[in-house]
Amino acid sequence: MTYKKPVSVLVVIHSPAQEILLIERAAHPGYWQSVTGSQEDDEPLLVTAAREVFEETGIRAAAGALTDWHLSQQYEIFPQWRHRYAPGVTHNTEHVFSLCVPRGTPITLAPDEHRAWRWLPLREAAEACFSWSNRDAILALPQRIAAASGSA
């Protein structure tokens, strides 16, 4: 068995109006989240982020479109997902990115992973997420955008 690496990315996809794209896990209805996924081998995290965005939404992130927040957080892996990791692995380190796309961008879900998608206003999206790290990243988005534009 090939185990998942306990290093992952979280990509907050948002519109210019700061509406957030959330996707619902196929195996866990009601679990809404941003794009997430594990690093494969030694691929750069930016490559992991772009790969996961494409695999989970069909969006091809252009070179330079992803913003690396240079933020990582460690969390305990939910018990229902620990079997995917090597025995004894209980924590994952997640690296945060964001991607701004027009709200009309076509979305193509990976049906084995996700069953639905929706755009929500920022606060509603944060409240809909089952993951505290995803919620916190969504709530931090306005400050990240302001800092990047120099108006912080």
77-112: per-residue pLDDT in tens? 989 889 999 999 999 999 999 999 999 999 999 999
Domain locations along the chain: 7-149
Q: Please report the pLDDT score of residue 148 as a whole number.
A: 83
Enter the pTM of the model: 0.94
Contact yes or no for 31/24 (Cβ under 8 A): yes
Q: Among the residues of 18-119, which ranges form H helices?
A: 45-57
DSSP state of 7: E
Residue ranges for the chain with pLDDT beneath 50:
152
Closest by Cα among 59, 79, 63, 74 to 15: 59
DSSP annotation of 4 reads: B
Looking at domain 7-149, its CATH class is alpha beta
